[in-house]
Amino acid sequence: MSKTYRGYTREQIAKTIDHSVLKPDFKTSDVEAGAAIALKYDVASYCIRPMDVPLAAKLLAGSNVPVCTVIGFPHGTTTSATKAFEAAEAVRNGATEIDMVINVSALLSGDYALVESDIRAVVEASHAAAREIGASASIKVIFETSLLNDELIVKACEFTEAAGADYVKTSTGFSSEGATVHNVRLMKATVGDRLKVKSSGGVRTLDQLCDFMDCGVTRSGSSNTEAILAEFDAKAE
């Protein structure tokens, strides 16, 4: 019988992690090392910068680990047309998961039509590019919850669903605060089982990851994959 920790198997833990290599000062060697980690632990996806998509796609070819990339990252304030182009290019280069940053400024300003149309532009461009090459694309929408109150988090969930995206996601990991249990629970309560939830930002330990899984996340971004799974190996029974 498989060992578990807090009711989760090692495979369940690994297949919740989007292993992330996103810092601007990372070199090609760091991207290659990250791909090796993603393959070794058979994680849910390998999340990298748009410039790294072709290399990641090559390194992960034939594996069960898809390529994920970030769009409008980390501020979300590029134009919708720019985000759509960036997303389509990423899909054509081999990404099948697109994590886009919401236009937080528009949301805070009450320009809700722009928020929704911005998401829809990325969703439609990603799907169109995927159809061109006979592939698929799923879209995660990053809220940057540290900048939002509960009311705006709920609205962001509603706009994400209306625009046809697949996931709501807490954070970029580049703002003042990452994922919290409160925000994850609020997002899950809002989207139910219609959309999936991803926690991201500051997920560094096994217990943190399990806390978010207990709240209903199916993905969690982390650059600490090796340490989390080493913790599992030490604690699982």
The DSSP 8-state label assigned to residue 140 in this structure reads: E
Residue found by looking up tokens 């605060």 in the block: 177
Instruction: Tell me the catalytic residues.
Output: 99, 169, 198
Q: Which residues contact 123 (CB under 8 A, 6 or more apart)?
A: 139, 163, 164, 165
How many other C-beta atoms are found inside a 10 Å radius of the C-beta of residue 229? 20
What are the backbone dihedrals phi and psi of residue 124, each rounded to the nearest 5 degrees, phi first? -65, -40
Helices (H), the chain: 10-14, 28-41, 53-60, 80-92, 104-109, 112-132, 150-162, 181-191, 206-214, 225-235
Distance CA 26, CA 43 (A): 20
Pairing of strands 196-200, 219-222: parallel
Q: How far apart are CA 18 and CA 45, in angstroms?
A: 5
Tell me how far apart the alpha carbons of residues 158 and 149 are, in angstroms, rounded to a whole number: 14
